[in-house]
Copies of this chain bind each other. A is one copy, B any other.
């Protein structure tokens, strides 16, 4: 100890803020979640995506909302080998006793580059429509949005795909399902109009991709853009768990590691 006789005293009292949450509570014989009795009203009644919808939106989905929300979620589950699934497999190889850590590792790369475009699309659409005069002139807004992003030298989130050209069949199907259920609203219209303008301006193949469609549909459902990335995180956690199950039989991690190690080592030895 190096206290040296300094006078030190108790911290000045701070006014405590109450800790509150409306999501759930329980007593010995009762469990309430999202405002509903869990055993009586939720278990056996609601599906998993409906539960997510209930939590995020604060109310049960209609049948249409439930179908569209599920469509969004299943689209995001599995994308083959991705940095995220490879990461999960490599982590599992080192810590098979901690499955949750392998899933978490896989989720950590879902940032601005890969899943961020969903959030980005939702953000620009919501911000543009929030202050727009009614009735919406989505074609004009699309021109403004594209010009604005071009001026800022920013890419347009939700457009373009490395592989799926000239059309991303997931985006087509998602918008179709939204339309079937009467949930194709102004955000979807604006996103589609943006794709048309961007394609014309850039002269490149810039299909509306799955993340653009999802950003638009989620916005028309009233989901705020700040949580849209969370939809991808939830869905990918499903996909990663399935990859880890496959990896128990067909491990990829060690082989990937060995190949990278061999190539890098040889490049060093041959300098």
A interface residue numbers (CB < 8 A to B): 1-4, 6, 8-11, 14, 16-44, 46-52, 55-56, 66-67, 70-71, 73-75, 77-84, 86-87, 90-105, 107-115, 163-165, 167, 169-170, 172-174, 176-177, 180, 224, 226-227, 229-231, 233-235, 237-239, 241-246, 248, 250, 252-270
Q: Which residue from B10, B81, B260 sits with its C-beta under 8 Å from A264?
A: B81
Q: CB distance A83 to B78 under 8 Å?
A: no
Q: CB distance B174 to A23 under 8 Å?
A: no
Secondary structure at chain A's binding surface: helix, strand, loop or mixed? Answer: helix
Given known A-B contacts A74-B51, A83-B94, A233 and B40 have beta carbons under 8 A apart: no
Complex: A260 Cα to B255 Cα, angstroms: 10
Residue in chain B with minimal CB distance to A44: B177
Q: CB distance B246 to A241 under 8 Å?
A: no
Q: CB distance A14 to B262 under 8 Å?
A: yes
Interfacial chain B residues near A257, Cβ < 8 Å:
81-83, 86
Q: CB distance A269 to B43 under 8 Å?
A: no
